[in-house]
Amino acid sequence: MLPQFEFACLTYHVIGDSEDQYAVSEKQLRDHLRFLKTEGFIVEGFEQLHARLLSDQEWPARYAVFTLDDGHESSMRAADLLMEYKCQATFFVTRNRSQQKAGFIREPQIRELRRRGFSLGTHGTTHRKLTSMSEESCIEELEGSKQWLEQTLGEPVCSMGAPGGFINARVFKLAKRLGYVLVGTCHERMNSPRTMVLPGLVNRVNVRRHFSLGHFRDIVYGSSPFYLWRQLRSAALAIPKELTRG
């Protein structure tokens, strides 16, 4: 029987000293990884999560999933640190950025990440918001990025991180039809193995630069006040968008 415990899925973007809220410094990342190992967490990616959901193997008492979005060039440094602390992760890469944009990892580096044992998934073709696209355009994004990454790696790809975390029933249905099994969102909630199904969604928390180590502890231990704060913040930010549409 699946356990009743819950786990957090962490999402990072850039490792560096930029002032962008999504740029986490190398020291912060090291502090996070050290904390997880000291506290006895098993840290895995979508590939290992998928395998656990398919099997009857016992779940660790303390568990977290680690993901990195966009394919920024600092992903390679993140991989170094993850290996140092014996942590797994999934890197979600955006096709056009990896093919055309400076500052993002290229196909040889993507293959190097796989050689090191990390899993990879898609993050769209152009990083546009899937929920605002026509069905045809959405299929092109989902299918084009999947075919490219499968050709790059020489193996099937069955996971994706929705660009910007935007996902709805229509996009998820298309993703399932195209062979995606796990889809990462930006719904800042914990995940329960007991209620997860395949194909399915994985709730993820964007780790931000201004988060303290105390915030990080709250994330991985599922602090109710922290998650309530994030959900209230998300709801408040959504109100102006709805008024703008009206």
Query: Does residue 46 carry a pLDDT above 60?
Result: yes
- Cα–Cα nearest to 39, from 6, 57, 64, 12: 64
Confidence class for position 240, pLDDT limits 50, 70, 90: low
pLDDT at 229: 85
Burial zone of 120 (CB within 10 Å; 0-12 exposed, 13-18 middle, 19+ buried): buried
Q: Which residue is it, tokens 């909630």?
A: 189
pLDDT at 235: 73
Mean pLDDT, the chain, whole residue set: 93
Under DSSP, is residue 78 helix (H, G, I), strand (E, B) or coil? helix
Confidence class for position 233, pLDDT limits 50, 70, 90: confident
Q: How far is it, in rounded angstroms, from Cα 66 to Cα 191?
A: 13
The two beta strands, 159-161 and 8-12, are: unpaired
- Cα–Cα nearest to 178, from 220, 234, 122: 122
| pLDDT, tens only, 135-179 | 999 999 999 999 999 999 999 999 999 999 899 999 999 999 999
Task: Answer with the residue of higher pLDDT: 214 or 235.
Answer: 214
Confidence class for position 237, pLDDT limits 50, 70, 90: low
Model pTM score: 0.93
Those residues whose C-beta lies under 8 Å from the C-beta of residue 142, and which sit 6 or more positions away, are 122, 124, 130, 160, 171, 174, 175, 178, 180
CATH superfamily placement of domain 8-245? Glycoside hydrolase/deacetylase (3.20.20.370)
- Ramachandran assignment for 71, one of left (phi > 0), alpha (psi -120 to 50 degrees), beta (any other): left
| pLDDT, tens only, 59-118 | 999 999 999 999 999 999 999 999 999 999 999 999 999 999 999 999 999 999 999 999
